[in-house]
Structure 1
Amino acid sequence: MTALATAAPALDLRTRFYDELDPLLDAYPDVDVVLAVIGSGYMGRAIERHPGRVIDVGIREQALIGVAGGLALAGRRPIVHTFASFLVERPYEQVKLDLGHQDVGAVLVSAGASYDVSAGGRTHQAPADVALISALPGWTVHVPGHADEVAELLHREAAGTGRVYLRLSGQRNSRPHPVDGRLHLVRDGAGAGGEHGPLVVAVGPMLETVLVATADLPVRVAWTATPHPLDAEGLRALAGPAPVLAVVTPYLEGTGAGEVAAALVDRPSRVLHVGVPGETELRRYGTPRDHAAAHGLDAAGVRRRVAAFLG
C-alpha cells in the first residue's frame, strides 16, 4: 500500500463545531443550543454573548431532547449536543416522540462517533447511532469528514426546519469535499474496468482510509457525507447495470443496506458492507486506532475485506 499525500492537519471536527456556535447564534436569532453538561466548557464566548440561548439541562439526556422538542414547538430551532451514546441511544424514546411524533425539527450534533471515547468504555461507544436514527421517519444524517464540511452543514441546517443528525468524529480527511447530499466520484475507472468497474463508496471520514486501502486495487472510489437518505440516483449512475459494490462506513456494518438494495433492486448486483461488526463487541479499552484495527476499519483491514470480495 502507498501512503496518501496529505495537506496540513485539518482542524478537529468537534472543535470547529464549538468555534462556529458564536457566529451561528449571531446569524440565526431563532437558534438555541441545548446541552447536557458535555461541551459547556468550550462554549464560554457563546454563553457570554448570548445569555439564555445556551441551555444546559445537566446530566439529564431524556430532558435534553424533551427541552429541544418544547423549544421547537415554540418556534425555536434547537441545536442539541452531547456524546452519541447519550444523544441517540439513551433518549431514543424522546427522539422518537418529542421530535419525530410531534413532527418538529432539530439539529442533533454528536461527538464520540463509534469508539472515539474508547477509554470511557462501552457506555461512551455508539456504532449503532446512524442505524437507529435512520430507522425513524423524516431524518437526514450527515457524517462529515472535515471541519469545513461541519461548518457548512451546521449553518445550512440551522437555517432549515428539518430533523437532522450531524455525526462528528475524531477521524478526519485532510481536505474538504462537497456536502450537497450527492455521491461524488473521487477516483475514476482507470485500470478498474472502465466507468462501470467495481465501486467502493466511502462515507465521511473513511475516505482517505479507503483511498489508501484500495490504492493498488482495480476499483473506483466514491464518497458522500450524507448516507441517509441515500443518493439513490447517483448510486445507480455510478454503479452501472451489474454493480460490484462495497460500502465502507465508520459505524455499524450494514447500516443503509436496505437503501442500497432498494436503489439497485432491478439490477443483478454483488454488494459488500464494511463497518463496525454487529456480532462482536470489544471488552477492552485501548485507543480509537486499536479499535479501528480490531474491527478491520484501518487501511489494512479494509483492503483485506475488499480484496477478498473482488476475488
Structure 2
Amino acid sequence: MMRERFVDTTTALLGDDPRTALVLADISAAAFEPAARRHPDRVLNVGIREQLMVGVAGGLALTGLRPIVHTYAPFLVERAYEQLKLDLDHQGVTAVLVSVGASYDRAAAGRTHLSPADVSLVDSLHGWTVHVPGHPDEVPTLLRGAVAADASAYLRLSTQHNARPYGGDGTLRVLRDAGPGAPLLVAVGPVLDAALAAVADLGVTVAYTHRPRPFDTAGLRALADTEVILVEPYLAGTSARVVSAALADRPHRLLALGVGREELRRYGSAEDHTRWHGLDAVGLRRSVDEFLASAPASAGR
C-alpha cells in the first residue's frame, strides 16, 4: 500500500540525509517509532495539533532542515491551511506534505475524514508541485524527488490504486492512442484503470499523469484536438482552469469529471463513494457518452 511505501522511504531518507526531518500529529506515529528512536531530534510528534505541526515544520525549514509533514488530508490541508499560507509560503520556506485518506478513503469515519478539495486549496498557494500517485510503486521515486527538489510539494496518497505503476516524470504519458482528431482523456493518478475500462471500445486517446501541478500543458497542447475529458480523483473541475487556459487560443470542449460538490451525507465505503460520484467505469462511460453525443456536428473526432 502507498502508506507503507511512504513509511519505508521516509525512514530510509532520515537515515541517509541528515537534513531530512519528519513532523507528525499522531497519525502514523507507531509506524515511525523505530525512526524516532534513531533520530529523536528529527522525528517530532506534536500530538493532535495539526496547525502546530505545520508551524513546527516552518521553523525547522528556517534552520535549514527539509521537513516532511504527514497526516490525513483534511487535517493537513484544510485544518492547517492558514499555517501553510503563513508559516511556509509567507516565510519563504518549503516543506513536503504527505497526506493519506485522499478524497474518501476513510468514508466510514464520516465527513471529518473526507477531503476532496485538498488539491484545490494547495493550488491556491504559489508554485507548489502536486503528486497524485496511481500505484504504491510510484511513491518512493516521487517522495525522494520531492524531498531533493527543495521546493514545496504535496504528495497525495490513497488506498485506491491502478493495477500497475506507470512512473515517469509527470508529463502526459499516452497509454492508448486513437489517432489524430480523437477526443483526449487525461486521467490523474488512481482513476486511470477505470477510465481505460470506460472507453475501451471508443475512439478516445487516453493519457496519464501523477503530477497535476505543474500540469503538462505542452503535452496537452500536442495531444488535444477539439474535445478533452479530464478525470481527477478529487474535486471535479480542479484542473479545468489550467486546461482551458492552455487551450485558450483554439476551439475546444472540456468535460471535467471528479468528486461532486454536493455533500452526500452518507457513509459507505470508498468503493461506494467512487460509484456515487460516477468515477467507476460505468459512471465514467455514462458521462463520456453524454459528452460525445452532445458534440456539434462540426467537431472533429
User: TM-score range, shorter-chain basis?
Assistant: over 0.9
Equivalent position SS for 1:42: coil
> Shift in Å at residue 196 of structure 1?
2.9
Matched, 1:298 2:280: yes
Equivalent position SS for 1:297: coil
Question: Retained in 2: the 8 A contact 1:38–1:81?
Answer: yes
> What's the counterpart of residue 6 of structure 1?
none
TM-score calculated relative to the size of structure 1: 0.92
> What's the counterpart of residue 297 of structure 2?
none
Matched, 1:79 2:54: no
> Shift in Å at residue 21 of structure 1?
1.9
The letter for the 2-side match of 1:269 is H
Matched, 1:256 2:239: yes
- Candidates 189, 192, 214, aligned match of 1:204: 189
Once the two structures are superposed, what CA deviation does each residue of 1:84-105 show, in whole Å capped at 9, x if it has no partner?
0000000100001111111111
Distance in 1, matches of 2:265 and 2:79, equals: 20
- Candidates 222, 243, 267, aligned match of 2:207: 222
Matched, 1:45 2:34: yes
> Shift in Å at residue 147 of structure 1?
1.4
- Where do 5+ consecutive residues of structure 2 fail to align? 294-301
Once the two structures are superposed, what CA deviation does each residue of 1:57-94 show, in whole Å capped at 9, x if it has no partner?
00001101000000111111000000000000001000
The letter for the 2-side match of 1:92 is Y
Equivalent position SS for 1:130: helix
> What's the counterpart of residue 281 of structure 1?
263
> What's the counterpart of residue 8 of structure 2?
19
Question: Retained in 2: the 8 A contact 1:100–1:138?
Answer: no
> What's the counterpart of residue 135 of structure 1?
124
Distance in 2, matches of 1:250 and 1:152, equals: 21
Distance in 2, matches of 1:52 and 1:66, equals: 16
Equivalent position SS for 2:268: coil
Equivalent position SS for 1:281: coil
Distance in 1, matches of 2:202 and 2:160, equals: 23
Matched, 1:118 2:107: yes
The letter for the 2-side match of 1:197 is A
> Shift in Å at residue 220 of structure 1?
0.8
Distance in 1, matches of 2:289 and 2:155, equals: 31
> What's the counterpart of residue 310 of structure 1?
292
Distance in 2, matches of 1:179 and 1:46, equals: 29
> Shift in Å at residue 287 of structure 1?
0.4
Distance in 2, matches of 1:19 and 1:307, equals: 42
Distance in 1, matches of 2:136 and 2:168, equals: 12
Q: CA RMSD in A?
A: 0.9
Distance in 2, matches of 1:289 and 1:201, equals: 21
Once the two structures are superposed, what CA deviation does each residue of 1:168-188 show, in whole Å capped at 9, x if it has no partner?
011111211133120110111
- Where do 5+ consecutive residues of structure 1 fail to align? 1-11
Aligned pairs for 1:57-96 (under 5 A) are: 57-96=46-85
Provide the identity percentage.
57
> Shift in Å at residue 47 of structure 1?
1.7
The letter for the 2-side match of 1:137 is H
> Shift in Å at residue 51 of structure 1?
2.3
> Shift in Å at residue 203 of structure 1?
0.2
The letter for the 2-side match of 1:237 is A
> What's the counterpart of residue 102 of structure 1?
91
Distance in 2, matches of 1:147 and 1:265, equals: 35
- Candidates 123, 146, 159, aligned match of 2:148: 159
The letter for the 1-side match of 2:152 is R
TM-score calculated relative to the size of structure 2: 0.95
Aligned length: 293
The letter for the 1-side match of 2:263 is E
